[in-house]
Structure 1
Amino acid sequence: MEGVLIPATDPSGSNLPEIGDNLAPDPSGSPGERPSWWRGPGGGAEVLAVAAPLVVSSLSWTVMTFVDRMMLSNWSGAAMSAAFVATVAWWAVVCLPVGLCSYTGTFVAQYHGSNQPQRIGPAVWQGVWVALAVSPLVLALVPLAGPLFALAGHTGEAAALEARYFQLMCYGAPAMLLAQSLSSFYSGRSKTVLVMLVDTTYALVNLVLDYWWIFGLSISWQGEAVRIFPAMGIDGAGWATVLSLWLKAATYLVLMLRADNRLRFRADDWRIDWALAGRLFRFGAPSGVQMLLDVLGFTVFIVLVGRLGAVESEATSMTFSIGSLAFMPICGLGLAASILVGQHLGENRDVAAARATWTTLHVAWAYMAVVSLLLLGVPQIFLWGFFASPTPVAGETAPREAVAATALVLMRFVACYNFMDAMLIVFVSALKGAGDTRFVLLVSLVMGFLLATLSLLAVEVFQAGIYGCWALVSCWIATLGILFFLRFLQGKWRSMRVIEMDQGHPDALSH
């Protein structure tokens, strides 16, 4: 299930270093000159040009969910916690097809790098067909939401709120899958500014709808209050997200089907290409399963922490929401690393691909340093929005002072594992961009099982408490980061490709 192997050579035919070389030719310098960090293929300028809009796109989703939970915490602490738990469970359901659909971007990147634009449109449509095929399976879980959360041991109001929010998110799942496939038409070609604009627009739409639908919106008409949006609490938050996701998917479809895209990239070639779909499934399925295994282990952790009590559950939900402010921008950097690795390998320049990965890691660590300093030095600034209202609209289920005090301690764990988390995301993204998905799958299989098992033992057997559980998940993240770092250094990814090479390409005979 690994990528097609070809000799590690540049287009001129010279052998390239196999492991650890992060240099690349710099056209702006003299022959033999060591490139600066900023210039040349894989340098800071290239990485930031691709990554900056993707970071903003990732932040748009993060800010959307973060503010969503802040608003819900001012409706009720139970609603905020339920939305977080339900979102984690929903993500566990959709992450496999999301991983499969988003892997379309690797095909687009490698086709773009190998100068095969006519294959880009058909590749995107294979991702669209995958999204449409799996959507009924996700929707089939809607009537099962109640029993699923009851099975997890959640009862009463918490279980009812979790089930309801999970059901609403399932209605938006098909749109999210379609957007993942369709947006890769642009992100895989480094047209990330457009992706940023679309994602940010609908994140803002979602935020406005959140406020109106959670707390209600009335206008004065001829001396009387006219209700435009009812105050729906957690239901309103869910419907706002669903509508925003469908609008975003529709926008990407309209943009891709423009006349110039149909002509150059065959963007209207919606036919099923069984050979291409087979390769997408061959390389994308392990990527999706890897995401599923990681999320399942993480979901078990969240559910088990929920058994410790209302304070622990709300503090964990709050802290992970805050941690996502650090995590999601690094996901944008990871996506940039995957795109650039795919493009440079399509050009048959593995040294430039390696350099882009190291440069991305430098940027990720610089960002994480700032976030970790803020988490340690002024953690209160991350909490104020959760306690903006003196008393939640629908009441509280746990003492707010105890929740805040616990969350302040948990943020120290986030500050500690941030750097390893960045290393994990960057290197696993680079490996996926090359097609080394079998190794990624095997590691995730083992580590996902370990997290779920050790979380169960920590809560039910050793009575480790909230801080013991968080120490466990911190060690888990660090271990994953080290494993993928070592795999990257091994260098096997350098000779992998996921696409068929065009007959006019210098390495066509290698296949």
Structure 2
Amino acid sequence: MSETNTANETLSPTGWWSRPGGGREVLSVAAPLVVSSLSWTVMTFVDRMFLNHWSGAAMAAAFVASMIWFAALCLPLGICSYTSTFVAQYHGSAQPRRIGPAVWQGVWFALAASPFLLAAIPFADAIFLAAGHAPSDVELEGRYFAILCYGAPGMLLAQSLSSFYSGRGKTVVVMIVDSVFAILNVLLDWWWIFGLTVAWGDETLEVFPAWGIAGAGWATVTATWLKAATYLLIFVLPRYRAEFGTGHAIFDVKLFRRLLYFGGPAGVQMLLDVLGFTVFVVLVGRLGSVENEATSLTFSISSLAFMPVFGIGLAVSILVGQHLGEDRDRVAAQATWTALHVSWAYMALVSIGLVFFPQLFLSGFFAGEPMSGDLTTRAAVESTALVLLRFVAAYNFLDAMAIVFVSALKGAGDTRFILLTSLVMALALGLLTWLMVDVAHAGLYGCWGVISAWVGTIGMVFLLRFLNGSWRSMRVIEPKLVEPESDAGEFA
């Protein structure tokens, strides 16, 4: 850290709220990202909640299919998301003209990865048949998965383009855009799942057909593509071209390689984490329909509850990247600990609600009568989910710790360690779940005990890595030198 930066930190306020890396700085970046993160979760949550009123089988199918779709998407999505770390470090090191080209590398990667995701559409049914699911479930899961694949390119493009704002800490723009299209998705969900007709004189015009699970998929795809188009239009505005070079849509080989070098492990880490959860869900699905629906429902509630912490984690990555770009690693560390305090305070409220007021979380799924399905099964799913929510309450604090510290390490560029840890932990989760289901026959609660222990372990591993401090000297951007870098030292 430079002497100037040290002096500035000494003269700055030292209270929790006002100090560098304190509550005001963290929350000013994190609050809009919390709303933005919730927007995607709200989109999928509303899909499942509405579908549960269509049928419990459709809700469970949408959850499983979206998990596998996201597992296929998360490797390129992780790389596209990592564009924000480059933007943050360029912003912190006062190199604004490098920001536009960095974002464009994320866009080029999104376009290059899209054909591979679209190629999965013809194999949709085969994926779920291979998992051993019942033919009736496969028909629903395959249809929903195939439709979501059409939205994958839009998802990747939106993620890369939004990094232009999130990486610079302009998170209010991200919040507004994401929220608008989350609301649009809710409207499209209602109309497209249950149908929308309009009276036209003596006739009735069908605006949206009642397509059930297919309608939920097309609503999400439509909202996702419109969001990507909006980000692109504002990214190339004239004022951004002049200051940040956003009009230079060039393929920069060296910068693209750096994005793959650092973002690749981050994308694989996301893939491994999601794969671990996907294998868990698929294996639990073999225990029976009640266990499958209860697990899908509980994870839907859990993802909505912990998404604010995911938004805080995004803010941690941005602030760590910015402060390391400024060579202020002490402030980066302070921002991380502040984010942990905020996350734990939030998780305390969530856990209290899950334990003492679980019906508040379940009411949206079980209000009214379903359009199809067995009422006895529905009651069994609800009672089982009440127990599973207590598992979520038990591991919430450790989950928050894992999210915050892995985000700090990503913001610094410590992605190789993250990759190795995720590989070991994903394999462990899959193996232990298989042992619980097929060998020990420990049932649903044995499986949930495994995933609770898994979350706790991964949280402790990333905490210890953060305390090790090796991340403090890491950077993802090239050194700010007058002479060009040699190829040999590009990633040194």
- TM-score interval (norm. to shorter): over 0.9
Provide the secondary structure at the position in 1 that maps to 2:4.
Answer: coil
- Inter-partner Cα distance in structure 1 for 2:367 and 2:434: 35
Equivalent residues in 2 for 1:54-133, closer than 5 Å: 54-133=33-112
Residue 297 of structure 2 is aligned with which of 311, 318, 338?
318
Residue 191 of structure 1 is aligned with which of 170, 173, 176?
170
**321-330 or 361-370: which moved more?**
321-330
- Inter-partner Cα distance in structure 2 for 1:11 and 1:284: 32
Q: Is the contact between residue 26 and residue 41 of structure 1 (CA under 8 Å) also seen in structure 2?
A: no
Q: Is the contact between residue 76 and residue 110 of structure 2 (CA under 8 Å) also seen in structure 1?
A: yes
Which is bigger in relative contact order (C-alpha 8 A, separation at least 6)? Answer: 1
Residue 338 of structure 1 is aligned with which of 317, 325, 336?
317
Provide the secondary structure at the position in 1 that maps to 2:67.
Answer: helix
Q: Is the contact between residue 100 and residue 164 of structure 2 (CA under 8 Å) also seen in structure 1?
A: yes
- Kindly provide the amino acid, as one letter, of the partner of residue 428 in structure 2: L
Aligned residue number for residue 49 of structure 1: 28
- Kindly provide the amino acid, as one letter, of the partner of residue 330 in structure 1: V
What are the superposed Cα offsets for residues 445-484 of structure 1, whole Å, 9 maximum, x if unpaired?
A: 1000010111111100100101000010010000000000
1:424 aligns with 2:402: yes
Q: Is the contact between residue 100 and residue 280 of structure 1 (CA under 8 Å) also seen in structure 2?
A: yes
Aligned residue number for residue 460 of structure 1: 438
| Structure 1 residue 395, shift from structure 2 partner | 2.9
- Inter-partner Cα distance in structure 2 for 1:464 and 1:488: 35
Q: Is the contact between residue 287 and residue 441 of structure 1 (CA under 8 Å) also seen in structure 2?
A: yes
- Inter-partner Cα distance in structure 2 for 1:324 and 1:13: 39
Aligned residue number for residue 447 of structure 2: 469
- Kindly provide the amino acid, as one letter, of the partner of residue 423 in structure 2: L
- Inter-partner Cα distance in structure 1 for 2:218 and 2:376: 27
| Structure 1 residue 389, shift from structure 2 partner | 2.6
Provide the secondary structure at the position in 2 that maps to 1:497.
Answer: coil
What are the superposed Cα offsets for residues 324-382 of structure 1, whole Å, 9 maximum, x if unpaired?
A: 12221111000000000000000000000000000000010011000000000100011
- Inter-partner Cα distance in structure 1 for 2:419 and 2:206: 51
Tell me the TM-score normalised to structure 1 length: 0.93
| Structure 1 residue 180, shift from structure 2 partner | 0.6
Q: Is the contact between residue 235 and residue 246 of structure 2 (CA under 8 Å) also seen in structure 1?
A: yes
Residue 364 of structure 2 is aligned with which of 382, 385, 392?
385
1:284 aligns with 2:263: yes
| Structure 1 residue 144, shift from structure 2 partner | 0.5
Residue 248 of structure 1 is aligned with which of 205, 216, 227?
227
Q: Is the contact between residue 217 and residue 230 of structure 1 (CA under 8 Å) also seen in structure 2?
A: yes
Change (3 A) 1:398 1:439: farther
1:302 aligns with 2:286: no
- Inter-partner Cα distance in structure 2 for 1:275 and 1:230: 49
- Inter-partner Cα distance in structure 2 for 1:344 and 1:504: 22
Q: Is the contact between residue 310 and residue 397 of structure 1 (CA under 8 Å) also seen in structure 2?
A: no
Q: Is the contact between residue 78 and residue 397 of structure 1 (CA under 8 Å) also seen in structure 2?
A: no
Aligned residue number for residue 489 of structure 2: none
- Inter-partner Cα distance in structure 2 for 1:26 and 1:325: 40
- Kindly provide the amino acid, as one letter, of the partner of residue 327 in structure 2: N
Residue 404 of structure 1 is aligned with which of 364, 373, 382?
382
1:146 aligns with 2:125: yes
| Structure 1 residue 394, shift from structure 2 partner | 3.3
Aligned residue number for residue 192 of structure 2: 213
| Structure 1 residue 126, shift from structure 2 partner | 0.3
Q: Is the contact between residue 114 and residue 501 of structure 1 (CA under 8 Å) also seen in structure 2?
A: no
Provide the secondary structure at the position in 2 that maps to 1:498.
Answer: coil
- Kindly provide the amino acid, as one letter, of the partner of residue 490 in structure 1: N
Q: Is the contact between residue 5 and residue 328 of structure 2 (CA under 8 Å) also seen in structure 1?
A: no
Q: Is the contact between residue 129 and residue 135 of structure 2 (CA under 8 Å) also seen in structure 1?
A: no
1:447 aligns with 2:425: yes
- Inter-partner Cα distance in structure 2 for 1:44 and 1:26: 17
Aligned residue number for residue 236 of structure 1: 215
- Inter-partner Cα distance in structure 2 for 1:382 and 1:27: 46
- Inter-partner Cα distance in structure 1 for 2:250 and 2:112: 14
| Structure 1 residue 13, shift from structure 2 partner | 8.0
| Structure 1 residue 397, shift from structure 2 partner | 8.5
- Inter-partner Cα distance in structure 2 for 1:155 and 1:26: 64
Tell me the TM-score normalised to structure 2 length: 0.96
1:200 aligns with 2:184: no
| Structure 1 residue 393, shift from structure 2 partner | 1.7
Provide the secondary structure at the position in 2 that maps to 1:218.
Answer: strand
- Inter-partner Cα distance in structure 2 for 1:314 and 1:27: 56
What are the superposed Cα offsets for residues 188-219 of structure 1, whole Å, 9 maximum, x if unpaired?
A: 00000000000000000000000000000011
- Kindly provide the amino acid, as one letter, of the partner of residue 409 in structure 1: V
- Inter-partner Cα distance in structure 2 for 1:11 and 1:503: 20
1:176 aligns with 2:163: no
| Structure 1 residue 223, shift from structure 2 partner | 3.3
1:501 aligns with 2:479: yes
Equivalent residues in 2 for 1:266-285, closer than 5 Å: 266-285=245-264
- Inter-partner Cα distance in structure 2 for 1:138 and 1:11: 49
Aligned residues: 486
Q: Is the contact between residue 12 and residue 20 of structure 2 (CA under 8 Å) also seen in structure 1?
A: no
Structure with greater helix share of residues:
2
Q: Is the contact between residue 429 and residue 451 of structure 2 (CA under 8 Å) also seen in structure 1?
A: yes
Provide the secondary structure at the position in 2 that maps to 1:25.
Answer: helix
- Kindly provide the amino acid, as one letter, of the partner of residue 109 in structure 1: A
- Inter-partner Cα distance in structure 2 for 1:291 and 1:11: 38
- Inter-partner Cα distance in structure 2 for 1:343 and 1:364: 21
Contiguous gaps of at least 5 residues in structure 2: 484-491
Aligned residue number for residue 347 of structure 2: 368
- Kindly provide the amino acid, as one letter, of the partner of residue 382 in structure 2: A
- Inter-partner Cα distance in structure 2 for 1:503 and 1:260: 27
| Structure 1 residue 419, shift from structure 2 partner | 0.3
- Inter-partner Cα distance in structure 2 for 1:359 and 1:340: 11
- Inter-partner Cα distance in structure 1 for 2:348 and 2:381: 26
- Inter-partner Cα distance in structure 1 for 2:18 and 2:311: 21
Q: Is the contact between residue 94 and residue 173 of structure 1 (CA under 8 Å) also seen in structure 2?
A: yes
Provide the secondary structure at the position in 1 that maps to 2:458.
Answer: helix
What are the superposed Cα offsets for residues 88-122 of structure 1, whole Å, 9 maximum, x if unpaired?
A: 00011001001000000000000000000000000
- Inter-partner Cα distance in structure 1 for 2:402 and 2:239: 38
- Kindly provide the amino acid, as one letter, of the partner of residue 153 in structure 1: G
Q: Is the contact between residue 27 and residue 40 of structure 1 (CA under 8 Å) also seen in structure 2?
A: no
- Kindly provide the amino acid, as one letter, of the partner of residue 499 in structure 1: I
Q: Is the contact between residue 11 and residue 347 of structure 1 (CA under 8 Å) also seen in structure 2?
A: no
- Inter-partner Cα distance in structure 2 for 1:140 and 1:67: 27
Contiguous gaps of at least 5 residues in structure 1: 1-8, 17-23, 30-34, 506-510
Aligned residue number for residue 12 of structure 1: 4
- Kindly provide the amino acid, as one letter, of the partner of residue 12 in structure 1: T
Q: Is the contact between residue 284 and residue 292 of structure 2 (CA under 8 Å) also seen in structure 1?
A: yes
| Structure 1 residue 489, shift from structure 2 partner | 0.2
